[in-house]
Each structure stands twice: as C-alpha cells, then as structure tokens.
Structure 1
Amino acid sequence: MNLYIESLEGGNYLASTGMGATRTLVRDKKSQPKTFHCLNEIREHFYSKSFEHVWLRQSTPYEEMVGQTDHPGALELEIER
C-alpha cells in the first residue's frame, strides 16, 4: 500500500492510501476529508503504518496564471517514508 499526499494552497494537505488509481481519502470522525497542516502531522497520524511508497503531489494554478501552459501537470515526487 502507498500513501499519497496532496499539497493544497494555504499550507494544507490531504492524504489518501491505496495503490495506483484505487485510493481511499483519509476522513475525520464526521466523514469529511481530513486536512493536515504539515507533513509532520501526517507522519504522526500514520506512525504505526508502513507504506511501500510515499508520494507528494503539488498542483498549482500559478503556471497557468502567468501563461506557462507547457507544464505537463502537477509535480509529483516520492518522499522519504
């Protein structure tokens, strides 16, 4: 199983677990998407879990806002687990 972290504007993150396109978004007690405020908060949440890969994805609208349309999409990189 992998951990997928999505970086949002304003320093917030969403996390999901799974493999490839089959992912489950982490939710809070009210079944709302759980928002994390830093990567360390995500590490603490998953302290007892082990993942094969941890992926960080950062998509930003700023490239489009300044006319850079040749960007292939969101930046996605594997980070240390």
Structure 2
Amino acid sequence: MDLFIESIEGGRYLVATGSADNRSVFKDQRNQTKTFHSISQIKEQFADQSFGKVMLKQSTPYDEMCGMASMTGPLELEINWR
C-alpha cells in the first residue's frame, strides 16, 4: 500500500492510500474528507503504518502568476517518510 499526499490551497493537504490505480481518500469519523495542516500532522496520523511509497503532489496555478514558466502538469515526487 502507498500513501498519496496532495498539497491544496490554503496550506492544507489531502491524503489517500492504496495504489496508483486504486486510491481511497482518508476520511474522518463523520465520513468527511479529512484535511491536514502539515506533513508532520500526517505522519502522526499514520505513525503505526508502513507504506511502499509516499508520494507528494503539488498543483498550483500560481507559478504563471509569478512570472515562472508554466509546467505541463503538477509536481509529483516520492518523499522520504522516516
């Protein structure tokens, strides 16, 4: 099982587990999509679990607004989890 973290606007993160083809978004006790405020908070939530890969994805429309060249897609990279 892999962990997928996506950085979204407002300094929040969404989390999903599973595989590249079959992901399940992490939800709270009320079955609502849970957002996190930091990678540290995500690590605390999943401290007792092991993952094959942990992927971080950042999608931002702001690069072009700041005068940077546009990218062809979101930035996605594997991060060191421990």
TM-score normalised by the chain length of structure 2: 0.89
Give the structure 2 partner of residue 61 of structure 1. Answer: 61
More displaced stretch, 60-69 vs 36-45? 60-69
Name the SS of the counterpart of 1:73 in structure 2: coil
One-letter code of the match for 1:14?
L
Structure 1: any 5+ residue segments left out of the alignment? none
Per-residue CA shift, 1:10-65, capped at 9, x if unaligned? 11001000011200000011111101000000000000000000000000012354
Say what the alpha-carbon RMSD is for the aligned residues.
1.5
TM-score normalised by the chain length of structure 1: 0.90
State the alpha-carbon separation in 2 of the partners of residues 23 and 69 from structure 1.
31
Give the structure 2 partner of residue 8 of structure 1. Answer: 8
State the alpha-carbon separation in 2 of the partners of residues 67 and 80 from structure 1.
30
Instruction: Kindly state the Cα deviation for residue 71 of structure 1 after the two structures are TM-superposed.
Output: 1.2
Instruction: Kindly state the Cα deviation for residue 69 of structure 1 after the two structures are TM-superposed.
Output: 7.0
Instruction: Kindly state the Cα deviation for residue 66 of structure 1 after the two structures are TM-superposed.
Output: 5.7
Across the two proteins, how many residue pairs are aligned to each other? 81
Structure 1 segments of 4+ aligned residues over 3 angstroms from their partners: 63-70
Q: Is the Cα contact below 8 Å between 2:7 and 2:59 reproduced in 1? A: yes
State the alpha-carbon separation in 2 of the partners of residues 59 and 79 from structure 1.
16
One-letter code of the match for 2:19?
M
Give the structure 1 partner of residue 19 of structure 2. Answer: 19
